[in-house]
Chain A
């Protein structure tokens, strides 16, 4: 079965530093990888999507990489701010077959940015 691992349940960094979150997967060949942000008591909010044939994607202070050989995605937040504190989820998706449309989520990494 598919397995998705996100690095350490919690990550604490100082304001202004770059936060790097890791998503590793096994037994799966995703066509897409997505990252979401979730605040306590709220639903996840979509941040970025990267395709299997893309190496890197950027959006403002966010950057995602996707290495299908290593089966890994890295999610970077540069110049981090306390407002970036949240849980970040990675999710994998196929574009064919019986699992069409389904997202498989990791457990998330809780990021805390302290002043």
Chain B
């Protein structure tokens, strides 16, 4: 079955540590997105990529980094510069970046600080 796989489901980070969240899709979608969800705040866009080898900052990119070297993969690194990383992280993809395409989401990674 086609879909988006996020791993791990739960992740713990120590102070000063970088961690990488995995996102893989086998839908052959061009566009991919990373969101952060906090209680009562809805989804906020961190980074998005409209095509391989290209990505743009979203609304809360500080303290995060991404790469898009392959069409099916869009990993997110939470760096030590992100002072409040505890949140639920969601990855999504769409066929392309425009024309009213719906987004398909993974089941998220919950990141906590030790």
Q: Give me 12 A-to-B residue pairs in the complex whose CB atoms sit less than 8 angstroms apart, sorted by A's number.
A: A42-B108, A43-B4, A43-B105, A46-B102, A46-B103, A49-B100, A89-B42, A95-B100, A101-B31, A101-B98, A105-B35, A107-B40
Chain B positions near chain A (C-beta within 8 angstroms): 4, 31, 33, 35, 40-43, 45, 48, 50, 58, 90, 92, 94, 96-108, 110
Mostly, the A contact residues are loop
Instruction: Give the CA-CA distance A44 to B92 in the complex, in Å.
Output: 9
Closest to A30 in B: B100
Question: Which of B42, B50, B92, B108 touches A41 (beta carbons < 8 Å)?
Answer: B108
Closest to B42 in A: A107
Closest to A105 in B: B43
Question: Which of B98, B101, B105 touches A44 (beta carbons < 8 Å)?
Answer: B105
Known: A89-B42, A105-B42. A45 touches B96 (CB 8 A): no
Q: Please state if B48 and A101 are interface contacts (CB–CB under 8 Å).
A: yes
Question: Which of A45, A95, A102 touches B105 (beta carbons < 8 Å)?
Answer: A45
Q: Which residues of B contact A102 (CB under 8 A)?
A: 45, 48, 58
